[in-house]
Amino acid sequence: MAEMHAHRGPIGLLVKIYPKLSETFILEEILGLERLGQELHIFAMQAPTDEFQHDAVDRVRAPVTYLPEAKSTNLLTLLCAHLSLLVYRPLAYFSGLRSAMSRRGALTDFVRAGWLAHNLQRKGIRHLHTHFISRPADIAELVAKLGVPFSISAHAKDIYLSSPDDLRRKLDAARFTVTCTEYNRQTLARIAPGADIQRMYHGVDADRFCRGHDAIAAHPPLVLAVGRLREKKGFDTLIEACRRLADRGLDFRCEIVGYGDQHASLQQQIERDGLQGRVMLTGKLPRDAVISRYRRAAAFVQPSRIGQDGDRDGIPNVLLEAMAMELPVVSTRISGIPEVVAHEHNGLLIEPDRPADLADAIARLLADTPLRKRLGRAGRETIGSGFDNDRNLNLLKSLLENPDERPRRAPVETAARRSAGLS
Task: Quick: pLDDT tens for 76-93.
Answer: 999 999 999 999 999 999
The domains of the chain are located at: 11-203+390-415, 222-385
What is the pLDDT of the chain when averaged over all its residues? 93
Give buried/exposed letters for 138-162 (b at 16+ CB in 10 A, else e). bbbbbbbbbbbbbbbbbbbbbbbeb
- How far apart CA 234 and CA 285 sit, in angstroms, is 20
Q: Is the peptide bond before 164 cis (omega within 30 degrees of 0)?
A: no
> In this predicted structure, what is the pLDDT of residue 2?
33
Residue 412: the pLDDT is 53
Which architecture, in CATH terms, is 11-203+390-415? Answer: 3-Layer(aba) Sandwich (3.40)
pLDDT of residue 212: 78
Q: Under a CB-based contact definition with an 8 Å cutoff, are residues 135 and 164 in contact?
A: no
CA dist 207 and 369 (Å) reads 25
Residue 422 has pLDDT above 80, yes or no: no
Enumerate helices (H) and strands (E) in the chain, giving the number of each: 16, 13
Per-residue pLDDT at 217: 83
Q: What is the DSSP letter of 411?
A: P
Nearest to 143 by CA among 79, 99, 196: 99
Query: Would 11-203+390-415 and 222-385 be classified into the same CATH topology?
Result: yes
User: CA 365 to CA 375: how far, in whole Å?
Assistant: 10
Contact status, residue 267 vs residue 187, Cβ threshold 8 Å: no
Using one digit for the tens of pLDDT, what is the confidence trace for 341-397? 999 999 999 999 999 999 999 999 999 999 999 999 999 999 999 999 999 999 999
Top-level CATH class of 222-385? alpha beta
Tell me how far apart the alpha carbons of residues 42 and 400 are, in angstroms, rounded to a whole number.
15
pLDDT per position as a tens digit, 237-285:
999 999 999 999 999 999 999 999 999 999 999 999 999 999 999 999 9
